[in-house]
Amino acid sequence: MQSRKVAVIDNDQKSLSEIEEFLLLSGYDPVLVSDPSLAVHTVLENKPDVILIELKMPRKNGLELTDSINRAFETKRVPVIAMSDFFKEEFSWLLDLCGIKRWLKKPFQPLDVIWAIENEVEESSLWEKERRW
């Protein structure tokens, strides 16, 4: 079985390194993006199975990037999981507006991320199967 490709977009290098480490240990193929201005291009080029994205970044935040990623035909159906240490439940409508169905509050446990990735991939593949009928 081919490992799942996970794009991780976060301007915090320490956070990227930690996520990369537990993704690799869990058998995933991480694609790291530390510069938000390169995020859309990198996602289009690598076609990940799932995207983990920090919401709070300079210049272009995670919501804006997700909107840009979802506008591209090639990545329109790629599940996006938001990550943040400042997000509150009452703002979840913003995530929904951008097509983000799941979010993780930092700091999180590695298993929380793995669980979120697997659930998003499963839901995405079910949607694809239903669409083919």
Model confidence pLDDT, tens digit, residues 39-82: 999 999 999 999 999 999 988 889 899 988 888 877 778 999 99
User: Per the structure, how many domains does the chain have?
Assistant: 1
Count Cβ atoms within 10 A of the Cβ of residue 71 and give its class: 0-12 exposed, 13-18 middle, 19 or more buried.
Answer: exposed
What was the pLDDT predicted at 111? 94
Closest C-alpha to 120, from 51, 67, 40: 51
pLDDT tens column, 91-113? 788 888 888 889 999 999 999 99
Domain residues for the domain of 37 are 5-132
Instruction: Write the CB contacts of 3 (distance below 8 Å, at least 6 apart in sequence).
Output: 27, 28, 29
CATH number at residue 74: 3.40.50.2300
CA atoms within 13 A on the CB side of 88: 2
